[in-house]
Structure 1
Amino acid sequence: MADQQMQIGEVAERTGLSLRTIRHYEEVGLLVPSARSKGGFRLYTEVDIERLMTIRHMKPLNFSLEEARELLDILDALQETGATGEDRQRLRGRLESYRQVADARCEALRARLEMAEHFAASLRREPPARD
């Protein structure tokens, strides 16, 4: 399935992203379609879908597009076989810093969700009668 090529509409459906968003990510250099059809249509693979999902998963944690670019560059570099041991160590350190920030932001979101759920539950309770 990794070699299967999909047009942008299928990618949008699979990722939950709009065509406009996918095209924007291409314009800003976060995604390059794996190929183009003879008619000039963008063609994407599972690797491209994974890349888009990484970006999509970063958004609720308020990572910027620049941070997404940096993280994708780190992940790409770690997959390359030419990186030296020192380079790989530096890249792993940067990846770990992203993990720590993501964990902290997830914890903050959990705390906000807990407050929101408490508020929603308070609205479901019957207000006390006034005399």
Structure 2
Amino acid sequence: MDGKHMQIGEVAARTELSLRTIRHYEETGLVVPSARSQGGFRLYTERDVERLMVIRRMKPLGFTLDQMRDLLDATDRLDGDELTPTEREPLLERVREYERAAAEQVTKLRVQLARAEEFARTLGERVQRNQGTAVR
């Protein structure tokens, strides 16, 4: 797919994001279409899809748009031209901070999920115990 441009509908299908959400991320500057068709349609590349997937993965972990922008900036710079060790290390540390924050959020979400599953299980058990006792 390198070099191939996709219209927003294909990008939405691949990322499982709505057209509205993709447009919102464009308006906020998180993802900018790589090109426009002669008719003015947004055109995206594989790299644009990868950026949207980073955003999609960050959203349920509670990261803000500013944090998403900061991480994307750091990773873009790391992936870009040659950096000196003096330039590279602070960028790597920023990415490590996001990695730690993501791991913390995943742990919190696992606890919440376990509690939700326990709640659903106890409700199911209550229903099972009381199914045959309804007055007819």
Summarize the alignment of residues 83-102 of structure 1 with structure 2, pairs less than 5 Å apart: 83-102=83-102
* Gap runs ≥5 in structure 1: none
Deviation at 1:83, TM superposition (A): 2.2
- The equivalent of 1:59 in structure 2 is 59
- The equivalent of 1:29 in structure 2 is 29
- The equivalent of 1:74 in structure 2 is 74
Q: How far apart, in 2, do the equivalents of 1:85 and 1:31 lie?
A: 28
- The equivalent of 1:122 in structure 2 is 122
| TM superposition score normalised by structure 2 | 0.90
Deviation at 1:30, TM superposition (A): 0.5
The structure that is helix-richer by fraction is 2
Report the secondary structure of 1:33's partner residue. coil
Deviation at 1:127, TM superposition (A): 3.7
Asked if 1:16 corresponds to 2:12, the answer is no
Q: How far apart, in 1, do the equivalents of 2:71 and 2:7 lie?
A: 25
Q: How far apart, in 1, do the equivalents of 2:27 and 2:124 lie?
A: 46
Deviation at 1:27, TM superposition (A): 0.9
Q: How far apart, in 1, do the equivalents of 2:44 and 2:93 lie?
A: 30
Between the aligned residues of both structures, percent identity stands at: 54
| TM superposition score normalised by structure 1 | 0.94
Deviation at 1:81, TM superposition (A): 1.7
**Deviation >2 Å, runs of 4+:** 126-129
* Gap runs ≥5 in structure 2: none
Deviation at 1:82, TM superposition (A): 3.6
Cα deviation 1:35-59 (Å, max 9, x = unaligned): 1111111100111000001001001
